[in-house]
Amino acid sequence: MNELKSKLEQLYAEITDIISHLNLPQKEQLLLEMEEKANDPNFWSDPQAAGQHTKKAASIRSFVEFWRNLEKNCVGLLELAEHTEVSSPDVDEISKEYEILLREFEKNKILAVLSGKYDSYNAIVALHAGAGGVDAMDWTEMLLRMITRYSEKKGFEVEVLDISKNPEAGVKSVTLEIKGQFAFGLLK
């Protein structure tokens, strides 16, 4: 049980460390301002801008709620672990919940690093073979496949905007638009 408490304390320390760098209070204030703007009677006069505003607010809200809930759940597990006897059947349940929290933290901590100005936006990727002949064009085609598969695995929508293929083999140049939350940050 002491080992589990130690793991929980370590996880809590890592979560609070990341949260301290995420500027969540500023994001929460921004959400309040965005909600206030959305309550303006003229908000929907430009539906496209209103839709983008609403989408951005939902993204920020989801981000803030995830980290606040992760912190709250970790604190709850720590308190439960402190009041649980070593021989209690609850130890297995606490251990399972710890593993779930740890997986969620590991899966999302990379997103915490992506706090740059454009990291949460879509991405445009351009690949050009350059002066390497057929080998370079073949390599460009391999990069195209790798980026496309990575993007699809992440759940992004990939659209080929422009492609110039070599008749022999490979791709001379290609431009992709990759749509999805944090596409730019993950691809840069």
Q: How do residues 43-80 score in pLDDT, each as one tens digit?
A: 888 888 888 888 888 878 888 888 899 999 988 888 88
Task: Note the pLDDT of residue 140.
Answer: 87
Task: Note the pLDDT of residue 165.
Answer: 87
CA distance 148 to 142: 10
pTM: 0.64
Phi/psi of residue 134, nearest 5 degrees: -65, -35
* Helix (H) / strand (E) containing 115: none
Is residue 143 within 8 Å of 127, Cβ to Cβ?
A: yes
